[in-house]
Amino acid sequence: MNLVIHDLSEEEWSKVASKYEGWKVISDNGTIKPCIGCFGCWVKSPGECVIKDGYDQMGALIHHADEVLVISKYTYGGLSSFVKNIFDRSIGWVSPYFEVYEGEMHHKKRYPEDKPMSFIFRGAGLTEEERAKARGYVEAACRNFHAKIKSITFEELETMAQVGTQEVSETMEAGRLVMLNCSLRADNANSKKFMKRILPLLETEAEIVNLSSYLAHPEKLVELLLSAEKIVLGMPLYVDGVPSAPLRIMELLEKSGKAAGKKIYVVANMGLYESKQICHLLSIVKTWCEACGSEYCGGLAIGAGEMLKMMMRSENIDKGPSKNMAEGTKRIAAAINEGQAIEDIYADPFKFSRKMYIFCANASWPLDAKKNGLKKKDLFKQL
């Protein structure tokens, strides 16, 4: 069985469908839900997603496919929100356990294969720089998934709907700041915990808004964000990029044609150790800013977020493993106050080795499984 994952409209698909006769096709039927970051596909029902919407078997489908083809609209140097959602919902394909792979911290495989994957990015007038961004993203995601890249190609689409020039929204209030918690873990999100440490350092009134409250009414969130001049996006790293839920909001903001003139800051955190792995997420936000006519003002990339979140309860985060992150928090808060752009800040844990982090993280998975009535061996389940 071959597997094709695509975001084509019905009309576009009808023109190419005959090429993929006999393939298993994953496309947008309008029912897909975004990943809620629960790790259920690792510690509740290993290998399969807990959201039963017809897209819950992605890990097993990829495993059983001889090869996988991904067709996506070129979106800010990465995948479109639908295809990215499929990637986010596929992490059960790998095991929760960590190892050092190609010099970086990554997950171990659940299945033995090196799955061949091909990618077709569709876009109008894609420059060599834009193509390089997409290649860079795919290489990172495939390293993370232990997939083997068979090919990355670009399809020139002259007829693709071009988004017109961007205007400043008439509802935008000078100085208005919105902090958006993009994690669907909502109040339990690490993203929110990190943003809460920035809040008291800010000179402007701000509240942290949960994206999860707007899933049924994304247009209301778009309206709220259009009224802000400064936006802080608090994001987890999902499959080396922006999670599908905030990516969808970013697409809608661009489509509104009114997202110009804003100052955008990012506070991103991740489960793996090396904060450098957040570079593609930051690049995607930066490219989105360019598409919208807004200013990318810098990001704080926090490595080992799943450990550092535990330190956010402490009065003093300036000492110990959170020291670099605490310094980054002060620098980004000062930039937000001044409305200045800064270089991206990469904050790895301070004086806490990667080896120790991997040891502690690997020890935590059987404990999580036990809470769900599973045994350690269940974590290795293959479907």
| Region from 110-118, 184-192, 320-328, 335-343 binding ligand FMN, contact rule CB under 6 A | 184-192
**What DSSP string describes 310-357?**
HHTTSS--SSGGGHHHHHHHHHHHHHHHHT-----EEEPPTT--HHHH
Using an 8 Å Cβ cutoff, are 152 and 138 in contact?
A: yes
| Region from 49-57, 128-136, 185-193, 245-253 binding ligand FMN, contact rule CB under 6 A | 185-193
Residue 35 vs 83, nearer CB to ligand FMN: 35
| Region from 2-10, 114-122, 182-190, 208-216 binding ligand FMN, contact rule CB under 6 A | 182-190
**Candidate list 75, 80, 81, 269; residue touching ligand FMN; CB under 6 A:** 269
* H/E run at residue 212: none
Residue 92 vs 298, nearer CB to ligand FMN: 92
Residue 229 vs 348, nearer CB to ligand FMN: 348
How distant is the alpha carbon of residue 350 from its chain centre? 24
**Candidate list 55, 74, 238, 365; residue touching ligand FMN; CB under 6 A:** 238
Q: What is the Cα–Cα distance from 377 to 186, expressed in whole angstroms?
A: 31
Q: Is 277 in the site for ligand FMN (CB under 6 A)?
A: yes
3-class secondary-structure state, position 28: coil
Q: What is the Cα–Cα distance from 345 to 337, expressed in whole angstroms?
A: 17
* H/E run at residue 177: strand 177-181
Q: Tell me which residue has tokens 């350690």.
A: 376
What's the angle, vertex CA 168, arms to CA 162 and CA 173, rounded to 5? 150
69: CB partners within 8 A, 6+ apart? 2, 3, 4, 5, 20, 23, 117, 118, 119, 120
Q: Is 266 in the site for ligand FMN (CB under 6 A)?
A: no
Compose the 4-43 pattern: x for residues touching ligand FMN by CB under 6 A, - for all others. Answer: -------------------------------x-x------
Q: Nearest approach, Cβ of 18 to ligand FMN (angstroms)?
A: 33
| Contact set for ligand FMN, span 50-89 (CB under 6 A) | 88
| Contact set for ligand FMN, span 117-156 (CB under 6 A) | 144
Q: What is the Cα–Cα distance from 271 to 39, expressed in whole angstroms?
A: 11
Q: Of the candidates 265, 346, 357, which has an alpha carbon nearest to the alpha carbon of residue 308?
A: 357
| Region from 172-180, 251-259, 268-276, 349-357 binding ligand FMN, contact rule CB under 6 A | 268-276
Q: Is 306 in the site for ligand FMN (CB under 6 A)?
A: yes
Binding site for ligand FMN (CB under 6 A): 35, 37, 88, 91, 144, 183, 185, 189-191, 236-240, 269-272, 277, 305-306
